[in-house]
Amino acid sequence: MENKGQLKRDLSSRQMQMIALGGTIGVGLFMGSSATIKWTGPSVLLAYALAGLVLYIVMRALGEMLYVDPSTGSFAKYGTEYIHPLAGYLTAWSNVFQYLVVGISEVIAVGQYLNYWWPGLPGWISGSVIVITLCIANLVSVKAYGELEFWFALIKVITIIFMLILGAMVILLGLGNNWQPLGFSNLWSHGGFFTGGFKGFIFALSIVIASYQGIEVIGITAGEAKDPQVTVVKSIKSIVARILLFYIGSIFVIVTIYPWNQLDQVGSPFVETFSRVGITAAASIINFVLVTAAMSGCNSGIFSSSRMLYTLGLKKELSDKFTKLSKHGVPKLPVIAISAGIFLGMIINELLPHFIKGSSNIFVLVYSSSVLPGMVPWFIILFSQIKFRKANATKMAAHPFKLPLYPLSNYFAILALLLTLGFMFVNPETRVSVIIGFIFLFVVSLIFMLTQRHRN
């Protein structure tokens, strides 16, 4: 049985917070941020802090709008209402593209992690099981999705907290180092704090900002949250602080325990830290966490991008079929379409090396090209909120969750994102991914203009 009613508001605050954590804390943190540390050394901590300030501004701007209008596909809707229909269209398709690519990469990663226990297991078998399992979980109900994501994210959070405690004991008490405290000298003893200069710092910042992408999923969950005004405010207030604590805390422990220029020899700093204090099953524990982290990323991807397809259907920019809900209040066709897209991408990744030599590099390029589309929602949120404030002047008088230092904070965050994009284009290691991202945005804009002309 299908209906065209409203999505069900079944997500609790604890689920929303964990969904945002799960969408942001990914596999990259557990494997070690070697690229960013390589470019700038211990000052990568400042890069995470600066990116965290931008993150805080974006989330407060989003929270201010969600308090008044907690809609599904929120920032795409705000882009349409407060900027231009093209802005909403670009935001929705950027989100779909970003999460589709991330979902494919996470499924592929799970296959690689499972090879740790079952070396002969073909990637397409494990990938198929995972995609089908997550698709079913998303089809059952939004509550089932939220509960699954809560436990996925909780595993990551517990691991990080455990790592922070152990790291502090190694640094301050000498646990695992014959009770000789390591101290903090690794932060400046190997070429100083800023080892890559200003240029290296900005290069690292571009990757760091990309690592925070995904937190805006909280804006998509708002349309299915219980008591959305209370839930959204509570979630956004706590989520940014937690993410900054986990990211900056983890990176601080890593660059304090290990000389930054020797991290390439360490492998996963999480595994190494656990092994150092005598946890012999460290590799298996972290591998299990990596599996759940990758499944969490794919799970968030199916949820987020399916809701964007639903939003596009509501705006008549996709077939009306995308707006039909199952008896559980889930947009069935969008969930199936995104799951099928992830499955197809996983199969293509498996087959491509048999036909095209060096095709693994093609996938890496496509994956990294999602960084620019991933920034589009942030730009749209920051610009929308400026217009939103003017359009809702009467509602702002008693608003309890205003963005601090408006509009200076908006302009600061926009400038920081533009500067980051500029340096990504200058950096030969990220230039191609930015160009692919621009090509994607250009093609989507062209499609919008052609379809609008046809409608008119």
List the chain pLDDT tens, one digit each, 456 residues: 445 556 666 677 677 777 777 666 766 666 546 667 877 888 888 888 898 899 889 988 988 888 888 776 577 888 989 999 999 899 989 989 988 888 888 888 888 788 888 888 888 888 899 999 999 988 887 778 788 888 888 888 888 888 888 888 988 988 877 888 888 888 888 777 888 788 888 888 877 887 787 777 776 766 666 777 777 777 777 777 777 888 888 888 888 888 888 777 666 677 777 887 778 788 888 888 888 888 888 888 888 888 889 888 888 888 888 988 888 788 899 999 999 999 998 888 888 777 776 655 566 667 677 888 889 999 999 999 999 998 888 888 888 888 889 899 999 999 999 988 888 888 887 788 889 889 999 999 999 998 877 766
Report helix, strand or coil for 331: strand
DSSP secondary structure code for residue 214 in this structure: T
H or E element, residue 253:
helix 228-257
The model's pTM: 0.85
Per DSSP, the chain holds a count of helices (H) and strands (E) of: 19, 2
- Residue range of the domain that includes 433: 2-455
The count of domains in the chain is 1
Longest dimension (CA), the chain: 75
Residue 1, pLDDT score: 42
Distances (CA, A) of 141 to 26, 73, 332, 399: 24, 17, 10, 32
Domain at 291, CATH number: 1.20.1740.10
User: What is the C-alpha separation between 434 and 411, in angstroms, rounded?
Assistant: 22
Residue 145, pLDDT score: 79
